[in-house]
A and B are shown apart, each in its own frame.
Chain A
Amino acid sequence: MSLLGKLSWSALPLGQPIALAAGAMVVLTALSVLALVTWKGWWPVLWRDWITSVDHKRIGVMYVVLALVMLLRGFVDALMMRSQLALAAAGAPGFLPPEHYNQIFSAHGTIMVFFVSMTFMVGLMNFVVPLQIGARDMAFPVLNSVSFWLTAAGVLLMNLSLVVGEFARTGWLVYPPLSELAFSPQVGVDYYLWALQIAGVGTLLSGINLTTTILKLRARGMGYSRMPIFCWTALASNLLIIAAFPILTATFAMLLLDRYLGFHFFTNELGGNAMMYVNLIWAWGHPEVYILILPAFGVFSEVIATFAGKPLFGYRSMAIATMAICLLSFMVWLHHFFTMGASADVNGFFGVMTMIIAVPTGVKVFNWLFTLYGGTIRFSVPLLWSLGFMVTFVIGGMTGVLLAIPPVDFQVHNSLFLVAHFHNVIIGGVLFGAFAGYNHWFPKAFGFTLHEGWGRASFGCWVVGFYLAFMPLYLLGLMGATRRMQHYDERGWQPLMVVAWVGAVVILAGIACTIVQLVVSIRTRDRRRDRTGDPWNGRTLEWSVASPPPAWNFDSPVVVNGRDAFWTVKNGQEPEVVDASFATTAAAAPSPGRAGHGDGADAGDPAAGARPEPSVTVPPPSAVGVVIAFFAVAFGFGMVWHIGWLALAGGLGIVATVLRFSWLEREEIVVAPEALARSAMARPAPGGAA
């Protein structure tokens, strides 16, 4: 094998104009961003404050930025697919040949699920959860940085396939035997597998980190029944990550063994069985959709309560429903392949189990409705997204229950009806939730609010575009149109396909509005400063600190006396437990007490208050995440192209970096008392914002 493995000049898409243009655009964009950063001299700041930052807020922001960038790429794929199908009717070939079209829908699904929905939700949880539970940071701040950079490494590897080589042509879940070497000898599937293996490790580590943070770092007095509902959904989602992602990693590892070392887990030959892969991938895949949607439910719960000016209705029901969904999501995977020939008993069982999930979900919808009832509702952008969600999501829920009826699924399985259904719940649920959260917490992250008008325009375009793009697909599915087709014979389908294309263009306008909203907001930020730290009259602890919060989040340990911890304090309601109240603790200048990183929030710490320690500490920046990611990309690229020395160097580099970090003595940075005092002065006393 040569020094460059399978890599040669033919890996560049020189003969395919569309692929070449796409690749060139990506390279040029990346180069111009790098040039801009260099020219402006931003590298030191970028390196110190962002790339090596272990602050959960900055890492959360970076996750969201990554998700937004990938949303653009994933949407370009979507627009190309819709254009192809609007054209390729009744013998017309369209403009994308199958070998290119097949890569596009595979990349679209992979990007939108793993690198947009997932990344966006992880970013929101990263930013919000520690603030909501009164913690100084995540349980493992450096690990948090490693998680983010591994995700970014996966993104980079996947996008490399646009320029060097090709992506999988197999659909976003690479079903064997199609994805086996016998049928997909090219590097596309390898890019898919290595990119997701690397990003998957990051996701798993992030899941462990967030779960630990929620379980161990809650402020004094914040029992589980006082946790903001977003933290409940984050807990459920991260428990699912811990339980489900190892399945994904193991499944991909088996497929990799098939492809690289001639194993026969899923091949047609020698006792391999593709049905095993299909079961395993959905044993991960179904929990995955709840990993995405549960945090979105949490966002809507926070937003609806805040903008109705009311506590969330039926808090306990909401928490129970969340955990019920968390458990049930592991018992329904077979509904993704009723058509694989299981017995009527098996299909019937999984059909009924699937429908049962609709019960806790229905409970949530009713509780949001009752939260609105009797409120004083402000129609700000986050609330608009939430209302759009409530209306849209129940439609997706209904078609989901239809698909859960095996005999109906026998008809519409894999059809455009299915495509419409999962876009209905993922756009109408996850993406709307992401945008609600983005508009809601943006002022907390950056200290100024987003422009309302452009936000409304973006919401309007997305909603209208969504209905135009996907309602026709429901109909087309019932008419017999299947997914992943590159052309079709039926001229009668074309008008509906054109309507769907118009919908995609309207969504494009929505995305443009989002970008304009961001630009306009930044340019007018001086007029839209949030000086109170509490622009929405919020209910939870993140609104009790300045916007943006200091690196250490809370100047002194937080004590919580009830649900909606900040709201009760602001409104001077007598807390149920009379203790060192939050108001006095929070308003005081650096107070005695053990306030070290993370420990300050440790409930029931016997040392608290007894041993005077002078100051608050924050962990120093660490380059370990970005260095590991660098080696991970080298490793992945080496494996994809069978470049042995590069893969080996990448692998050894990762091990060496981890070992080096493990033996590194790192002093926490002590926050100067003056900085603390300044921070306490800058923040208005609780209650002042009400």
Chain B
Amino acid sequence: MTVVPSLAVLQSGVLDPQGPVAASQRLILFNASVIMAAVIVPVIVLTLAVAWWFRAGNRRARRRPDWAYSGPLEVLVWSVPLLVILFLGGIAWIGSHELDPRRPLASEVAPLDIEVVSLDWKWLFILPRAGVASVNHLVVPVGRPLRFHLTSTTVMNSFLVPQLGSQIYTMAGMTTELNLRADRAGVYPGLSAQFSGDGFSDMRFEVEAVSEEAFAGWLAATAAEGRPLDAEALRLLERPGTTGRERYRVALPDLFGSLVRRHGHGAMPGMAASASAPSHPSHSPHAASP
């Protein structure tokens, strides 16, 4: 274990962002850390220095054994944290809106829709427009906004590609939404960040960001060579267990929508689909796949 590889290891996760979302998150992380460090480092130093200076054995220390109140200091101790928090609160509020997972990324190109399904214990990625799907391996074009629609057919999971940005939960009967983009070609590890059972640690996948041409080539190859994702293939996929990478051409109509509706609140007798979660539009069942 030498120092050099240890430092190289730091170039991963959010510390090495490869898209606009992760880059903004790293910036906020660093800014907020520096702002707070400006307060807490002096507090730590003062705590140790004051305690040492006023040690019982120090004859030079001036004791003030009854000093227990000071109006100006009271104002100070309430206002310093308050000001710091006002500032950071602003960052939180603005950041929460600007990096809202549902917010589309500004771009001249139309986003690529990707449907994500967490299974026990694997990830199914569906590219509905191209009619192809893959397991534990997602190929995306560099520079194009990626619009994810996510659900689960089983327990809760959380979809996360640290170098691209935010995570979001996947839940049965509901869809969540996430917008990301890869700015550089590369292979980025992804994972589930919400414990989901015995195979959880193997719910890893890779996002491979490639050029538009390579992406088109991959789509064509998958459509031609992929196994059909039909009812039987789906049944095998849904059996609890881990698996490697797979490629499919989708042979079921509206696959994602039907998986959502399987547990969907819309399926409840007497309850309209839109009424299930009126205040959370993204949680309502996925209306229709493009």
Could you list some 28 contacts between A and B, CB below 8 A?
A175-B156, A177-B156, A183-B155, A268-B172, A270-B268, A271-B271, A308-B54, A317-B74, A339-B169, A351-B89, A351-B93, A359-B82, A363-B78, A374-B63, A377-B51, A379-B55, A405-B92, A410-B25, A410-B168, A411-B167, A414-B167, A478-B13, A479-B10, A479-B12, A481-B13, A482-B192, A485-B200, A496-B9
Contact A343 B89 (CB under 8 A): no
Chain A residue contacts of B176, Cβ below 8 A? 340-341
Decide yes or no whether A488 CB sits under 8 A from chain B.
Answer: yes
Q: State which residues 625-681 of A face B: CB under 8 Å.
A: none
Decide yes or no whether A402 CB sits under 8 A from chain B.
Answer: yes
Interface string of A376-417 (1 = CB under 8 A from B): 111100010001001100110110011011111011111100
Q: Given A341-B177, A492-B8, A495-B1, does the pair A376, B63 have CB atoms closer than 8 Å?
A: yes
B51 CB to nearest chain A CB (Å) = 5
Interface string of A339-355 (1 = CB under 8 A from B): 11111110110011001
Chain A residue contacts of B28, Cβ below 8 A? 405, 407-408
Decide yes or no whether A228 CB sits under 8 A from chain B.
Answer: no
B91 CB to nearest chain A CB (Å) = 6
Interface string of B50-78 (1 = CB under 8 A from A): 11001110000011111111100110111
Chain A residue contacts of B184, Cβ below 8 A? none
Decide yes or no whether B245 CB sits under 8 A from chain A.
Answer: no
Contact B97 A348 (CB under 8 A): yes
Chain B residue contacts of A486, Cβ below 8 A? 200-201
Contact B14 A478 (CB under 8 A): yes
Which one of B40-48, B126-134, B213-221, B227-235 contacts A? B40-48
Decide yes or no whether A95 CB sits under 8 A from chain B.
Answer: no
Contact of A407 among B70, B95, B163, B283 (CB under 8 A): B95
Contact A310 B22 (CB under 8 A): no
Contact B93 A348 (CB under 8 A): yes
A595 CB to nearest chain B CB (Å) = 33
Decide yes or no whether B285 CB sits under 8 A from chain A.
Answer: no
Q: Quick one: closest B residue to A353, CB to CB?
A: B89
Q: Which of B63, B78, B204 has the most CB of A within 10 A?
A: B78
Interface string of A133-176 (1 = CB under 8 A from B): 00000000000000000000000000000000000011100010
In Å, the complex CA distance between A308 and B55 comes to: 9
Decide yes or no whether A517 CB sits under 8 A from chain B.
Answer: no
Chain B residue contacts of A348, Cβ below 8 A? 92-93, 96-97
In Å, the complex CA distance between A271 and B1 comes to: 53
Contact of A413 among B158, B192, B280 (CB under 8 A): B158
Chain B residue contacts of A503, Cβ below 8 A? none
Q: State which residues 1-43 of B face A: CB under 8 Å.
A: 1, 5-6, 8-10, 12-15, 22, 24-25, 28-29, 32-33, 36-37, 39-40, 43
Chain B residue contacts of A411, Cβ below 8 A? 13-14, 22, 25, 29, 162, 165-167
Decide yes or no whether A446 CB sits under 8 A from chain B.
Answer: no
Chain A residue contacts of B280, Cβ below 8 A? 341-343
In Å, the complex CA distance between A373 and B70 comes to: 13
Contact A268 B173 (CB under 8 A): yes
A360 CB to nearest chain B CB (Å) = 8
Number of residues on chain B facing chain A (CB within 8 A):
103
Q: Quick one: closest B residue to A348, CB to CB?
A: B96
* Interface set of B (CB-CB < 8 Å, partner A): 1, 5-6, 8-10, 12-15, 22, 24-25, 28-29, 32-33, 36-37, 39-40, 43-44, 46-48, 50-51, 54-56, 62-70, 73-74, 76-78, 80-82, 84-85, 88-89, 91-93, 95-103, 154-156, 158, 160, 162-163, 165-169, 171-174, 176-177, 189, 191-201, 204, 263, 265, 268, 271, 279-280, 282-283
Chain B residue contacts of A352, Cβ below 8 A? 89, 92-93
In Å, the complex CA distance between A355 and B14 comes to: 23
Chain A residue contacts of B73, Cβ below 8 A? 314, 370
Q: Which of A169, A356, A485 has the most CB of B within 10 A?
A: A485
In Å, the complex CA distance between A373 and B51 comes to: 7
Contact B14 A480 (CB under 8 A): yes
Contact B77 A363 (CB under 8 A): yes
A152 CB to nearest chain B CB (Å) = 30
Q: Given A362-B80, A407-B25, does the pair A414, B193 have CB atoms closer than 8 Å?
A: yes
Contact A485 B154 (CB under 8 A): no
Chain B residue contacts of A514, Cβ below 8 A? none
Contact of B81 among A177, A358, A479 (CB under 8 A): A358
In Å, the complex CA distance between A358 and B283 comes to: 32
Q: Quick one: closest B residue to A368, CB to CB?
A: B47
Contact A373 B54 (CB under 8 A): yes
Decide yes or no whether A528 CB sits under 8 A from chain B.
Answer: no
Q: Given A411-B25, A484-B195, does the pair A401, B162 have CB atoms closer than 8 Å?
A: no
B265 CB to nearest chain A CB (Å) = 6
B169 CB to nearest chain A CB (Å) = 5
Decide yes or no whether A475 CB sits under 8 A from chain B.
Answer: yes
Q: Given A480-B12, A480-B13, does the pair A355, B74 have CB atoms closer than 8 Å?
A: no
Contact of B67 among A365, A374, A414 (CB under 8 A): A374
Q: Quick one: closest A residue to B175, CB to CB?
A: A341
In Å, the complex CA distance between A311 and B65 comes to: 8
B75 CB to nearest chain A CB (Å) = 10
Contact A406 B96 (CB under 8 A): yes
Q: Quick one: closest A residue to B168, CB to CB?
A: A339
In Å, the complex CA distance between A132 and B5 comes to: 56
Q: Given A406-B96, A411-B25, does the pair A401, B77 have CB atoms closer than 8 Å?
A: no
Chain A residue contacts of B171, Cβ below 8 A? 274-275, 340
Nearest first, the 10 closest Cβ-Cβ pairs linking A and B are A362-B81, A374-B64, A480-B13, A410-B166, A492-B9, A348-B96, A366-B77, A351-B92, A407-B99, A344-B100
Chain A residue contacts of B74, Cβ below 8 A? 314, 317
Contact B95 A171 (CB under 8 A): no
Decide yes or no whether A337 CB sits under 8 A from chain B.
Answer: yes
A95 CB to nearest chain B CB (Å) = 15
Decide yes or no whether A493 CB sits under 8 A from chain B.
Answer: yes
Q: Given A268-B173, A413-B193, A489-B204, does the pair A355, B92 have CB atoms closer than 8 Å?
A: yes
Q: Given A369-B47, A374-B62, does the pair A413, B68 have CB atoms closer than 8 Å?
A: no
Contact B46 A369 (CB under 8 A): yes
Contact A410 B165 (CB under 8 A): yes
In Å, the complex CA distance between A344 and B166 comes to: 13
Decide yes or no whether A372 CB sits under 8 A from chain B.
Answer: yes
Q: Given A376-B54, A404-B92, A405-B92, does the pair A314, B167 have CB atoms closer than 8 Å?
A: no
Chain B residue contacts of A391, Cβ below 8 A? 44, 47-48
Chain B residue contacts of A487, Cβ below 8 A? 201
Contact A407 B96 (CB under 8 A): yes
In Å, the complex CA distance between A317 and B88 comes to: 23
